[in-house]
Chains A and B, each alone.
Chain A
Amino acid sequence: MSVPDGWLAYGDEQQERVGFFTDTSVCIGCKACEVACKEWNLVPEDGLVFTGESYDNTSTLGANSWRHVAFIEQEKPLRLDDEDGEPLRWLMSSDVCKHCTHAACLDVCPTGSLFRTEFGTVVVQEDICNGCGYCVPACPFGVLDKRHIPSLPATTTRVSGSEPQASERPDGRVWKCTLCYDRLKGGHEPACAKACPTDSIQFGPLDELRARADARLEKLQQENWNGVQLYGRDPDDGVGGFGAFFLLLDEPEVYGLPPDPVVTTRDLPGLWAQTALAAGAVVLGVVASFLGGRR
């Protein structure tokens, strides 16, 4: 159940499955992860806005934001045994692609652009993607989106005296977190985890991260932290467990996350059966219409 689709096919080239454990109890909302991700992956700037939604002007994951720090100001106590008169807490959480064990985006991609890497992660091949957009509404977390602005040129060096020129043409392909596939290939940890100053974003083999998360959950529960829970750690959930999972301090929906995500293709066999039956009914209906006369 918890083995990523396609990962075993690598045989000798298969690597240990890696991922993120994002422990939001130590996130300080510095957004170093957002910046490091943008810098390393040449993710373009898509407009600066003021939302008034706490310290969050990024708002959502998308083609141009592969890490997103959520900020929630709550009149709730941080610990259940707090006796303060006016409870207050500030939740922060760095969201990212979940690199699902059963990934809807990968299943529905009609070009094979989305693929499972040897590390068990899910990556878009930008030289294949034709921007059909099917993965966008397939994802139960709203992670992927089409890039409607031009991309930056993929140059690694800047010629002195000249700014790199962005193309005029909107990119038109879908983009998302690659779990820094290029850095993994070179034996480095992803840029966001590297930049995180509090180790809220922890990178490593998924099994290790799960064990670490279990221990952390137990500790915070003993300390009476309000609402503490693991999200996406369970390999038996609707997507077979996340490759990037979280320790949250409130229900997932408070952070803009779905409470019980299910990979849409889980229901596809039944859906194909209905489709085949309906196709048969089309033929029967047409045949039946000839039972009367020509007029």
Chain B
Amino acid sequence: MSDSYYGRPVIKEPTWTWEIPIYLFTGGLGGGSAVLSAAARLAGNERLAKTSLYLGAAGDVVSAPLLIADLGRPERFLNMLRVFKVTSPMSVGSWVLFVSGGASSTAAVLETLDRLRPVKYLAELVSALFGGPLATYTGALLANTSVPVWHEGRHELPWLFGASGTATAGAAAALLLPPEEAGPARRLAIGCAAAELAAMEVMQHRVGRLLAEPYRKGLSGQLTRASKLCVAAGAGLLAWKGRQSRSAAVGGSTLVLAGEMLLRWGVFKAGFASARDPKYTVLPQRQRRDSNR
């Protein structure tokens, strides 16, 4: 029995280019940092609150032009806000980023000017409320497609990206702050790096041997392995010496950040690999069909 039509893909690869995996990283940084900043403000750790506020605003502010640049018609980016559709994670995400980015950049500007403190606190609250969704919806964005490794990883992708974004936020703050101010950020980076590695293992296991292939083979496999290595080494270094040594904190944080960026690229490229080869679409579907016949 033939498995495909001249080996051609059944579904189309996404048209998304390099801006999108970078956005997955910056959006995760923005969302995680907004929550971290608000928690630090409540805990009275003003230096951490300020650092994460700026990091979060930077993540959000960089994200928008990345997304706009990826559009086929960038000048029509505002069409994203002409409807709100819960059936489209991209529609929901556009609104989340719009609100969250607007709030975090407002708060960052007011922080710099040291004016309108109540407005700043309100903006920080809004940004923090939307931070969690901003860090996790990108998992739904990818999973809500016909791309086999993304769709079948739908139970884990929001957790994986949420953990990755929060680890990114923690590591970024721990990179910029001296260890005596960075305790929560460092612990967040270590804990969420471990959670991210665990989520990746669960996902690779749950999608089954065939669909886990893109995470082991080819470019996406190399990116995934490099990500695991960087994240594990970075989190280990932070846990071991990050509290005492500034240079260990800088090195560990940098490794975690690099690993989380590689993770986004690995998941992104694995999706393309699974869309390109028809066996990933046909074999699981044929199994499902034949068991229903």
A interface list, Cβ under 8 A from B: 51, 53, 56, 59-60, 62, 70, 72, 104, 107-113, 128-134, 136-147, 170-174, 250-251, 253-261, 264-265, 267-268, 270-272, 274-283, 285-290, 292-295
Neighbouring A residues of B6 by C-beta, 8 Å: 51, 53, 56, 59, 256
- Chain A residue at smallest Cβ distance from B292: A260
Q: Is B136 on the interface with A (CB-CB < 8 A)?
A: yes
Given A110-B90, A290-B39, A294-B180, A129 contacting B162 (CB threshold 8 A) = no
- Chain B residue at smallest Cβ distance from A279: B132
Please tell me if the beta carbons of A289 and B188 are within 8 angstroms of each other in the complex: yes
Q: Which stretch of B107-115, B137-145, B228-236, B257-265 is in the interface?
A: B137-145
Please tell me if the beta carbons of A136 and B88 are within 8 angstroms of each other in the complex: no
Neighbouring B residues of A56 by C-beta, 8 Å: 6
B149-163 at interface with A (beta carbon < 8 Å)? 151, 154-155, 158-159, 161-163
Q: Is B237 on the interface with A (CB-CB < 8 A)?
A: no
Q: Is B275 on the interface with A (CB-CB < 8 A)?
A: yes
The residue from B12, B70, B80, B166 contacting A111, defined by CB atoms under 8 A apart: B80
Neighbouring A residues of B12 by C-beta, 8 Å: 62, 136-137, 139, 142-145
B interface list, Cβ under 8 A from A: 1-6, 8-16, 31-32, 35-36, 39-40, 43, 45, 70-74, 76-77, 79-80, 82-83, 85-91, 94, 131-133, 135-137, 139-140, 143-147, 151, 154-155, 158-159, 161-163, 165-166, 170, 179-185, 187-188, 191-192, 195, 243, 271, 275, 278, 281-282, 285-286, 288-289, 292
Neighbouring B residues of A283 by C-beta, 8 Å: 35, 132
Q: A280 to B163: give the CA distance in the assembly, Å.
A: 11
Please tell me if the beta carbons of A130 and B76 are within 8 angstroms of each other in the complex: yes
Neighbouring B residues of A288 by C-beta, 8 Å: 191
Given A111-B82, A289-B185, A294-B181, A142 contacting B166 (CB threshold 8 A) = no
Please tell me if the beta carbons of B79 and A137 are within 8 angstroms of each other in the complex: no
The residue from B13, B89, B187 contacting A137, defined by CB atoms under 8 A apart: B13
The residue from B35, B88, B163, B182 contacting A110, defined by CB atoms under 8 A apart: B88
What is the CB-to-nearest-CB distance from B97 to chain A, in angstroms, rounded to a whole number? 12
The 4 closest A-B pairs by CB, nearest first: A131-B72, A172-B72, A256-B5, A279-B132
Given A134-B90, A290-B43, A292-B187, A142 contacting B9 (CB threshold 8 A) = yes
Q: A136 to B243: give the CA distance in the assembly, Å.
A: 47
Please tell me if the beta carbons of B132 and A282 are within 8 angstroms of each other in the complex: yes
Please tell me if the beta carbons of A133 and B15 are within 8 angstroms of each other in the complex: yes
Please tell me if the beta carbons of A111 and B79 are within 8 angstroms of each other in the complex: yes
- Chain B residue at smallest Cβ distance from A61: B12
Q: A129 to B74: give the CA distance in the assembly, Å.
A: 10
Neighbouring A residues of B162 by C-beta, 8 Å: 278-279, 281-282
Given A253-B3, A270-B154, A283-B132, A146 contacting B72 (CB threshold 8 A) = yes
Please tell me if the beta carbons of A264 and B145 are within 8 angstroms of each other in the complex: yes
A-B pairs with beta carbons under 8 A, tally: 264
- Chain B residue at smallest Cβ distance from A131: B72
Given A130-B77, A264-B151, A293-B183, A258 contacting B282 (CB threshold 8 A) = yes
The residue from B131, B159, B191, B192 contacting A274, defined by CB atoms under 8 A apart: B159
Please tell me if the beta carbons of A251 and B1 are within 8 angstroms of each other in the complex: yes
Q: A276 to B278: give the CA distance in the assembly, Å.
A: 32
- Chain A residue at smallest Cβ distance from B5: A256
Neighbouring A residues of B163 by C-beta, 8 Å: 285
Given A134-B90, A280-B132, A289 contacting B191 (CB threshold 8 A) = yes
The residue from A173, A260, A271 contacting B143, defined by CB atoms under 8 A apart: A271
Neighbouring A residues of B159 by C-beta, 8 Å: 274, 277-278, 281
Given A70-B5, A289-B187, A274 contacting B135 (CB threshold 8 A) = no
Interface centre among A136, A147, A257, A285 (most CB of B within 10 A): A285
Given A137-B12, A145-B15, A278-B159, A108 contacting B90 (CB threshold 8 A) = yes
Neighbouring A residues of B80 by C-beta, 8 Å: 110-111, 130, 132
What is the CB-to-nearest-CB distance from A200 to chain B, in angstroms, rounded to a whole number? 18
30 interchain pairs, CB-CB under 8 A: A104-B146, A108-B89, A108-B145, A109-B88, A111-B80, A131-B71, A132-B80, A134-B88, A137-B147, A250-B2, A251-B2, A253-B5, A253-B278, A255-B5, A258-B10, A260-B292, A261-B146, A264-B144, A265-B144, A278-B161, A282-B165, A282-B166, A285-B163, A285-B192, A289-B36, A289-B187, A290-B45, A294-B183, A295-B181, A295-B243
